[in-house]
Chains A and B, each alone.
Chain A
Amino acid sequence: GAVVSQHPSWVICKSGTSVKIECRSLDFQATTMFWYRQFPKQSLMLMATSNEGSKATYEQGVEKDKFLINHASLTLSTLTVTSAHPEDSSFYICSARDLGGRVDEQFFGPGTRLTVL
């Protein structure tokens, strides 16, 4: 089946530094990937939609200069948290849309735990 990976699975960084998270579709091409944020014991909140070869579409309230998204290839999207602060600590999950499968479906990565000290 379709597999989505994320790297790293967890990261700890100092306040003020930038962190890059990668999302890869391993066995299918994904023209669209999504980035979510999940706070403890809460639901997934869509941050942005990443389209290959074009600018990401951010949800209301998400700072595009803070959360930089690049989708340079059909199998890779990256999320860079710039000048991270403790309030950015969260679980970040990506998903990729598989249009080539039997049904149009979104497959999720395992998530990345970010802790900003």
Chain B
Amino acid sequence: AQRVTQPEKLLSVFKGAPVELKCNYSYSGSPELFWYVQYSRQRLQLLLRHISRESIKGFTADLNKGETSFHLKKPFAQEEDSAMYYCALKDSGGSNYKLTFGKGTLLTVNP
């Protein structure tokens, strides 16, 4: 069964510091991974997906199949980055685009 693990429930950094949110996955097929973000009092929204290999709001994430990881990184955190971050894995075996979410990491960027 597929599983997504985010080992840190809480992560606190100071503004300008680098930040890394960890995500590990377990999946037998070829994974498709995503990072979603939920700002305070807002809905869940897609931040980035690994197949796009893009940088959104300064965040990047690289899929490491050897380590089964998809960590989210940003070199210089900003206060507006404070939010809940979820790593998610798409079940590519089905046709319905099912997502399995990790438990999330609450990032707090302090001034």
Contacts and interface: CB of A to CB of B under 8 A. Distances in A.
Nearest to B42: A110
A41 B101 CA distance: 13
A49 B96 contact: yes
A71 interface: no
Interface residue SS majority, chain A: strand
A45 B9 CA distance: 17
Contact of A44 (B42, B86, B97): B86
Given A43-B86, A43-B102, A43-B104, A32 B97 contact: yes
A109 B44 CA distance: 8
Contacts of A92: none
A21 to B, nearest CB: 15
A108 interface: yes
A26 B45 CA distance: 16
Interface string A56-84: 01000000000000000000000000000
Given A42-B103, A44-B86, A32 B96 contact: yes
